[in-house]
Protein backbone atom coordinates (compact mmCIF):
# COMPACT_ATOMS: atom_id res chain seq x y z
CA UNK A 1 0.00 0.00 0.00
CA UNK A 2 1.15 3.54 -0.65
CA UNK A 3 1.57 5.78 2.35
CA UNK A 4 -1.54 7.75 1.48
CA UNK A 5 -3.78 4.74 1.09
CA UNK A 6 -2.39 3.25 4.30
CA UNK A 7 -3.37 6.42 6.16
CA UNK A 8 -6.81 6.35 4.57
CA UNK A 9 -7.23 2.71 5.49
CA UNK A 10 -6.32 3.41 9.09
CA UNK A 11 -8.65 6.39 9.33
CA UNK A 12 -11.53 4.41 7.84
CA UNK A 13 -10.90 1.50 10.17
CA UNK A 14 -10.80 3.83 13.18
CA UNK A 15 -14.16 5.32 12.16
CA UNK A 16 -15.58 1.81 11.87
CA UNK A 17 -14.28 0.88 15.31
CA UNK A 18 -15.89 3.95 16.86
CA UNK A 19 -19.24 3.20 15.21
CA UNK A 20 -19.06 -0.48 16.09
CA UNK A 21 -18.49 0.32 19.76
CA UNK A 22 -21.55 2.60 19.82
CA UNK A 23 -23.68 -0.03 18.14
CA UNK A 24 -22.47 -2.81 20.45
CA UNK A 25 -23.08 -0.65 23.53
CA UNK A 26 -26.63 0.06 22.30
CA UNK A 27 -27.27 -3.65 21.78
CA UNK A 28 -25.84 -4.46 25.22
CA UNK A 29 -28.02 -1.82 26.88
CA UNK A 30 -31.13 -3.07 25.12
CA UNK A 31 -30.48 -6.71 26.05
CA UNK A 32 -29.62 -5.79 29.65
CA UNK A 33 -32.85 -3.86 30.07
CA UNK A 34 -34.78 -6.68 28.42
CA UNK A 35 -33.32 -9.07 30.99
CA UNK A 36 -34.27 -6.76 33.85
CA UNK A 37 -30.80 -5.36 34.56
CA UNK A 38 -28.92 -2.11 34.27
CA UNK A 39 -26.76 -1.66 31.15
CA UNK A 40 -23.82 -0.91 33.50
CA UNK A 41 -24.12 -4.42 34.94
CA UNK A 42 -22.80 -5.92 31.71
CA UNK A 43 -19.15 -5.23 30.92
CA UNK A 44 -17.92 -4.98 27.34
CA UNK A 45 -14.52 -6.54 26.69
CA UNK A 46 -12.74 -5.76 23.43
CA UNK A 47 -10.96 -8.94 22.31
CA UNK A 48 -7.70 -7.79 20.80
CA UNK A 49 -6.06 -10.92 19.37
CA UNK A 50 -4.36 -10.19 16.00
CA UNK A 51 -5.31 -6.49 16.31
CA UNK A 52 -2.49 -3.95 15.95
CA UNK A 53 -1.79 -1.68 18.93
CA UNK A 54 -2.87 1.51 17.09
CA UNK A 55 -6.40 0.16 16.66
CA UNK A 56 -6.54 -1.15 20.22
CA UNK A 57 -5.50 2.31 21.42
CA UNK A 58 -8.19 3.87 19.27
CA UNK A 59 -10.80 1.62 20.89
CA UNK A 60 -9.45 2.68 24.30
CA UNK A 61 -9.76 6.35 23.29
CA UNK A 62 -13.38 5.57 22.34
CA UNK A 63 -14.05 4.43 25.91
CA UNK A 64 -13.08 0.75 26.00
CA UNK A 65 -11.77 0.00 29.51
CA UNK A 66 -11.47 -3.79 29.35
CA UNK A 67 -9.41 -5.79 26.87
CA UNK A 68 -8.81 -9.49 26.46
CA UNK A 69 -5.95 -11.30 24.76
CA UNK A 70 -5.62 -15.00 23.99
CA UNK A 71 -1.89 -15.55 23.86
CA UNK A 72 0.65 -14.65 26.50
CA UNK A 73 3.41 -13.91 23.99
CA UNK A 74 1.26 -11.74 21.75
CA UNK A 75 -0.01 -9.72 24.69
CA UNK A 76 3.42 -9.16 26.23
CA UNK A 77 4.74 -8.12 22.81
CA UNK A 78 2.03 -5.51 22.26
CA UNK A 79 1.72 -4.29 25.85
CA UNK A 80 4.47 -1.62 25.77
CA UNK A 81 2.66 0.09 22.87
CA UNK A 82 -0.76 0.16 24.53
CA UNK A 83 -2.28 3.13 26.41
CA UNK A 84 -3.43 1.03 29.34
CA UNK A 85 -4.04 3.78 31.86
CA UNK A 86 -7.37 2.86 33.51
CA UNK A 87 -7.75 -0.24 31.34
CA UNK A 88 -8.34 -3.67 32.82
CA UNK A 89 -6.54 -6.51 30.99
CA UNK A 90 -7.60 -10.17 31.05
CA UNK A 91 -6.15 -13.32 29.57
CA UNK A 92 -8.89 -15.32 27.84
CA UNK A 93 -7.00 -17.98 25.88
CA UNK A 94 -5.88 -21.43 26.97
CA UNK A 95 -2.96 -21.16 29.37
CA UNK A 96 -0.19 -23.72 29.63
CA UNK A 97 1.37 -24.20 33.04
CA UNK A 98 4.81 -23.22 31.74
CA UNK A 99 3.50 -19.79 30.62
CA UNK A 100 1.92 -18.87 33.95
CA UNK A 101 5.08 -17.29 35.32
CA UNK A 102 5.16 -14.78 32.45
CA UNK A 103 1.54 -13.65 32.68
CA UNK A 104 1.01 -13.36 36.44
CA UNK A 105 1.23 -9.65 37.33
CA UNK A 106 0.66 -8.59 33.70
CA UNK A 107 -3.14 -9.03 33.73
CA UNK A 108 -5.66 -8.55 36.54
CA UNK A 109 -7.65 -11.63 35.64
CA UNK A 110 -7.09 -14.99 34.00
CA UNK A 111 -10.44 -16.14 32.60
CA UNK A 112 -9.24 -19.46 31.21
CA UNK A 113 -8.44 -21.53 34.29
CA UNK A 114 -9.47 -25.06 33.38
CA UNK A 115 -7.60 -27.34 35.80
CA UNK A 116 -6.40 -27.61 39.37
CA UNK A 117 -2.87 -27.87 37.99
CA UNK A 118 -2.91 -24.48 36.29
CA UNK A 119 -4.70 -22.92 39.29
CA UNK A 120 -1.93 -24.22 41.58
CA UNK A 121 0.73 -22.67 39.36
CA UNK A 122 -1.10 -19.31 39.26
CA UNK A 123 -1.31 -19.48 43.04
CA UNK A 124 2.38 -20.26 43.38
CA UNK A 125 3.53 -17.48 41.06
CA UNK A 126 1.13 -14.95 42.60
CA UNK A 127 2.32 -15.69 46.13
CA UNK A 128 5.92 -15.41 44.98
CA UNK A 129 5.20 -11.95 43.56
CA UNK A 130 3.13 -10.93 46.56
CA UNK A 131 -0.04 -10.32 44.59
CA UNK A 132 -3.53 -11.67 44.09
CA UNK A 133 -4.61 -12.83 40.64
CA UNK A 134 -8.33 -12.88 39.89
CA UNK A 135 -9.46 -15.97 38.05
CA UNK A 136 -12.52 -17.34 36.31
CA UNK A 137 -13.05 -21.05 35.87
CA UNK A 138 -13.52 -21.94 32.23
CA UNK A 139 -16.30 -24.47 31.78
CA UNK A 140 -16.70 -26.73 28.76
CA UNK A 141 -20.46 -26.34 28.81
CA UNK A 142 -21.05 -28.20 25.56
CA UNK A 143 -18.86 -31.16 26.58
CA UNK A 144 -16.87 -30.79 23.35
CA UNK A 145 -13.71 -32.87 23.09
CA UNK A 146 -11.95 -30.23 21.01
CA UNK A 147 -12.51 -27.46 23.55
CA UNK A 148 -10.68 -26.52 26.70
CA UNK A 149 -12.52 -25.90 29.93
CA UNK A 150 -13.34 -28.12 32.88
CA UNK A 151 -16.37 -30.42 32.78
CA UNK A 152 -19.53 -28.77 34.08
CA UNK A 153 -20.01 -31.54 36.63
CA UNK A 154 -16.47 -31.12 37.99
CA UNK A 155 -16.92 -27.49 39.02
CA UNK A 156 -18.70 -28.07 42.31
CA UNK A 157 -15.86 -30.27 43.64
CA UNK A 158 -12.99 -28.27 42.17
CA UNK A 159 -14.22 -24.86 43.22
CA UNK A 160 -13.59 -25.12 46.99
CA UNK A 161 -10.21 -26.72 46.36
CA UNK A 162 -9.13 -23.93 44.00
CA UNK A 163 -10.66 -21.25 46.23
CA UNK A 164 -8.52 -22.45 49.14
CA UNK A 165 -5.29 -21.70 47.25
CA UNK A 166 -3.47 -18.55 48.36
CA UNK A 167 -2.73 -15.71 45.95
CA UNK A 168 -5.84 -16.06 43.86
CA UNK A 169 -9.42 -14.91 43.99
CA UNK A 170 -12.13 -16.90 42.22
CA UNK A 171 -14.50 -14.37 40.67
CA UNK A 172 -16.74 -16.52 38.50
CA UNK A 173 -16.99 -18.48 35.29
CA UNK A 174 -16.25 -18.26 31.58
CA UNK A 175 -17.71 -20.37 28.81
CA UNK A 176 -17.73 -20.70 25.03
CA UNK A 177 -20.76 -22.75 24.02
CA UNK A 178 -20.73 -24.89 20.87
CA UNK A 179 -21.45 -23.14 17.61
CA UNK A 180 -25.11 -23.71 16.92
CA UNK A 181 -27.74 -22.23 14.68
CA UNK A 182 -30.66 -23.14 16.89
CA UNK A 183 -31.27 -20.19 19.17
CA UNK A 184 -33.19 -22.28 21.71
CA UNK A 185 -30.28 -24.73 22.05
CA UNK A 186 -27.77 -21.89 22.25
CA UNK A 187 -29.71 -20.12 24.98
CA UNK A 188 -29.94 -23.45 26.79
CA UNK A 189 -26.13 -23.52 27.15
CA UNK A 190 -26.04 -19.95 28.41
CA UNK A 191 -28.87 -20.66 30.81
CA UNK A 192 -27.06 -23.75 32.11
CA UNK A 193 -24.03 -21.56 32.86
CA UNK A 194 -26.21 -19.01 34.59
CA UNK A 195 -27.63 -21.79 36.76
CA UNK A 196 -24.12 -22.77 37.82
CA UNK A 197 -23.23 -19.12 38.49
CA UNK A 198 -26.29 -18.57 40.67
CA UNK A 199 -25.82 -21.91 42.51
CA UNK A 200 -22.16 -21.23 43.30
CA UNK A 201 -22.92 -17.66 44.37
CA UNK A 202 -25.53 -18.99 46.80
CA UNK A 203 -23.20 -21.59 48.28
CA UNK A 204 -21.07 -19.00 50.06
CA UNK A 205 -17.88 -20.98 49.75
CA UNK A 206 -15.03 -19.50 51.78
CA UNK A 207 -12.63 -17.26 49.96
CA UNK A 208 -14.59 -16.76 46.79
CA UNK A 209 -16.32 -13.73 45.46
CA UNK A 210 -18.42 -14.87 42.51
CA UNK A 211 -19.42 -11.76 40.55
CA UNK A 212 -18.63 -12.49 36.89
CA UNK A 213 -20.25 -14.66 34.28
CA UNK A 214 -18.21 -14.21 31.11
CA UNK A 215 -20.10 -15.45 28.07
CA UNK A 216 -21.11 -14.15 24.67
CA UNK A 217 -18.97 -13.23 21.65
CA UNK A 218 -19.66 -11.32 18.41
CA UNK A 219 -22.25 -13.75 17.12
CA UNK A 220 -24.18 -14.36 20.31
CA UNK A 221 -23.59 -11.69 22.95
CA UNK A 222 -27.22 -10.55 22.92
CA UNK A 223 -28.48 -14.07 23.66
CA UNK A 224 -25.81 -14.45 26.35
CA UNK A 225 -26.94 -11.24 28.09
CA UNK A 226 -30.57 -12.32 27.92
CA UNK A 227 -29.48 -15.43 29.86
CA UNK A 228 -27.50 -13.55 32.50
CA UNK A 229 -24.02 -12.79 31.14
CA UNK A 230 -22.21 -10.03 33.06
CA UNK A 231 -19.25 -9.73 30.67
CA UNK A 232 -19.27 -10.14 26.89
CA UNK A 233 -16.07 -10.72 24.91
CA UNK A 234 -16.37 -9.10 21.50
CA UNK A 235 -13.65 -9.18 18.85
CA UNK A 236 -14.60 -9.21 15.17
CA UNK A 237 -17.82 -7.17 15.52
CA UNK A 238 -15.76 -4.45 17.14
CA UNK A 239 -12.44 -4.45 15.26
CA UNK A 240 -13.55 -6.07 11.98
CA UNK A 241 -12.70 -9.54 10.69
CA UNK A 242 -9.41 -10.92 11.97
CA UNK A 243 -6.51 -11.37 9.57
CA UNK A 244 -4.10 -14.04 10.79
Where does this chain bind ligand PLP (CB under 6 A)?
Answer: 47, 49, 70, 92-93, 176, 217-219, 233-237
Question: What does DSSP assign to residue 179?
Answer: P
What beta strand segments (E) does the chain contain? 43-47, 66-69, 88-91, 109-113, 133-140, 150-151, 168-175, 208-214, 231-234
Smallest distance from ligand PLP to CB 128, Å: 27
Nearer to ligand PLP, 165 or 193 (CB): 193
Smallest distance from ligand PLP to CB 35, Å: 20
Nearer to ligand PLP, 49 or 78 (CB): 49
Smallest distance from ligand PLP to CB 68, Å: 7
Q: What is the number of the residue whose Cβ is closest to ligand PLP?
A: 235
Q: Which residues contact 232 (CB under 8 A, 6 or more apart)?
A: 28, 42, 43, 44, 45, 214, 215, 216, 217, 221, 224, 225
Nearer to ligand PLP, 60 or 92 (CB): 92
Smallest distance from ligand PLP to CB 239, Å: 8
Backbone angles phi, psi at 50, to 5 degrees: 70, -5
Smallest distance from ligand PLP to CB 173, Å: 13
Instruction: Please calculate the CA angle 131-68-60 and round it to the nearest 5 degrees.
Output: 105
**Angstrom distance (rounded) from CA 213 to CA 210:** 8
Please tell me the total number of residues recorded for the chain in this structure: 244
Smallest distance from ligand PLP to CB 65, Å: 17
Nearer to ligand PLP, 100 or 165 (CB): 100
Nearer to ligand PLP, 47 or 104 (CB): 47
Question: What does DSSP assign to residue 2?
Answer: -
Instruction: Please calculate the CA angle 64-67-69 and round it to the nearest 5 degrees.
Output: 155
Nearer to ligand PLP, 121 or 220 (CB): 220
Nearer to ligand PLP, 82 or 217 (CB): 217
**Angstrom distance (rounded) from CA 12 to CA 243:** 17
Sign of CA dihedral 238, 234, 211, 163: negative
Smallest distance from ligand PLP to CB 237, Å: 6
Amino acid sequence: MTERSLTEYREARCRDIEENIKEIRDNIAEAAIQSGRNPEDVRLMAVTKTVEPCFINHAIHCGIDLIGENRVQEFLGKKPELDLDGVDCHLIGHLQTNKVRQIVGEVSTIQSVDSLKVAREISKQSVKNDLVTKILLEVNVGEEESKSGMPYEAVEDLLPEIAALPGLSVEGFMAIPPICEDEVVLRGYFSKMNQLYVDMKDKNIDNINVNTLSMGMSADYVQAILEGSTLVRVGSSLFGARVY
